[in-house]
């Protein structure tokens, strides 16, 4: 009787451990190369799987010893059957030759990635290649001096061209130049977009994503801010320079961050939250439109 009980306890514990493993967050890191030449790009990828009921979070990567950033990191989010997958891609390189180790990165909760060894080397020398001896410096022959008459011919040709353009240029009928067709202004485009969004989809994620996109496109066309691919935090830093009133600025930031919560953290806003975010985005566009 003791053996069946022990067997039951063993399977019960194993099943519990397996269930816990399926519901726990995981984090891993990988590199596309184990050795690079000095200055050669290396792609570091960090993936974090978050179960449905856990808060969305990601590892912090500030700097890596002996390595430098080549491009701004890119982090994307994907919904999977078990929850959410966050993937960060970091293009780095090194100008220090040697054997280096990309350290483990820690996710809150004590989870860590594996460390990644990388060899940084100079270009390999092939002893079988042909030997090229160092040559003496060769004196360059001065360019032959062009005949002076060529300059007179060129100057006369340019003068003749200007005279022809002056005498044969004709004015358009009525003496008025055609005005280029004027396109829709950034403000009109934003207002039409908000009106269409308000009468469109009831899906909260699509609604708040569209709301943020309308504002980002408006601020890009109106003020030339690189807002389309920036994170909300980077965009907020640029918006501070516009001189928006403190109250309007804080309400705008709240509306943009709410959109991030809905899009990335699967937050389900109530109708009042969505209505307030709409009004704050619309008010911010109207305020910015009045700025010089």
- 72 vs 54, 75, 212, 266, CA distance in Å? 28, 10, 22, 26
Rounded (5°) CA angle 55-60-64: 160
What is the distance between the alpha carbons of residues 228 and 230, in angstroms, rounded to a whole number?
6
Domains along the sequence of the chain with CATH: 23-121 (2.60.40), 186-289 (no CATH)
Place of tokens 């919560």: 261
* For residues 90-107, average pLDDT: 91
pLDDT confidence band for 110 (50 / 70 / 90): confident
Q: Is the pLDDT of residue 92 over 90?
A: yes
Backbone angles phi, psi at 121, to 5 degrees: -130, 165
Smallest Cα–Cα separation from 288: which of 201, 190, 198, 209?
190
Q: Is the pLDDT of residue 212 over 90?
A: no
8-40 tens-digit pLDDT? 444 544 444 444 444 588 899 999 999 998 889
Residue with more model confidence, 133 or 107: 107
Residues 102 and 118: beta-carbon distance below 8 Å: yes
* For residues 72-82, average pLDDT: 85
3-state secondary structure of 240: helix
What is the distance between the alpha carbons of residues 41 and 269, in angstroms, rounded to a whole number?
42
Q: What long-range pairs does 14-21 form, CB within 8 A, spacing at least 24?
A: none
164-195 tens-digit pLDDT? 776 666 444 443 333 433 578 889 888 988 88
The per-residue pLDDT for 201 is 65
Residues 85 and 49: beta-carbon distance below 8 Å: yes
The residues near 206 (Cβ < 8 Å, ≥ 6 apart) are: 200
């Amino acid at each position: 009787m003791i053996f069946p009980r022990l067997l039951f306890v063993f399977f019960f514990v194993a099943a519990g451990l397996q269930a816990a493993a399926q519901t726990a967050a995981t984090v891993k890191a990988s590199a596309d190369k184990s050795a690079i030449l000095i200055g050669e790009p290396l792609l570091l990828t960090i993936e974090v799987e978050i179960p449905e009921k856990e808060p969305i979070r990601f590892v912090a990567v500030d700097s890596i010893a002996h390595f430098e950033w080549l491009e701004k990191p890119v982090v994307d989010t994907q919904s999977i059957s078990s929850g959410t997958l966050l993937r960060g891609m970091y293009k780095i390189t090194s100008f220090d030759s040697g054997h280096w180790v990309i350290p483990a990165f820690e996710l809150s909760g004590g989870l860590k990635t594996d460390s990644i060894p990388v060899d940084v080397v100079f270009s390999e020398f092939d002893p079988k290649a042909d030997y090229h001896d160092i040559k003496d410096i060769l004196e360059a022959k001065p360019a032959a001096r062009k005949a002076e008459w060529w300059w007179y011919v060129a100057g006369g040709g340019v003068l003749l061209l200007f005279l022809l353009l002056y005498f044969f240029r004709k004015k358009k009928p009525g003496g008025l130049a055609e005005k280029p067709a004027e396109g829709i202004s950034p403000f009109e485009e934003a207002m039409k977009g908000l009106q269409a969004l308000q009468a469109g989809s009831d899906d909260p994620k699509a609604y708040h994503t569209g709301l943020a996109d309308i504002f980002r496109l408006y601020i890009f066309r109106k003020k030339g801010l690189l807002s389309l691919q920036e994170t909300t935090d980077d965009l907020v830093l640029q918006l501070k320079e516009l001189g928006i009133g403190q109250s309007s600025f804080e309400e705008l930031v709240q509306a943009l961050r709410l959109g991030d919560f809905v899009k990335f953290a699967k937050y389900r806003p109530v109708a009042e939250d969505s209505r307030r975010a709409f009004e704050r985005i619309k008010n911010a566009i109207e305020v910015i439109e009045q700025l010089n």
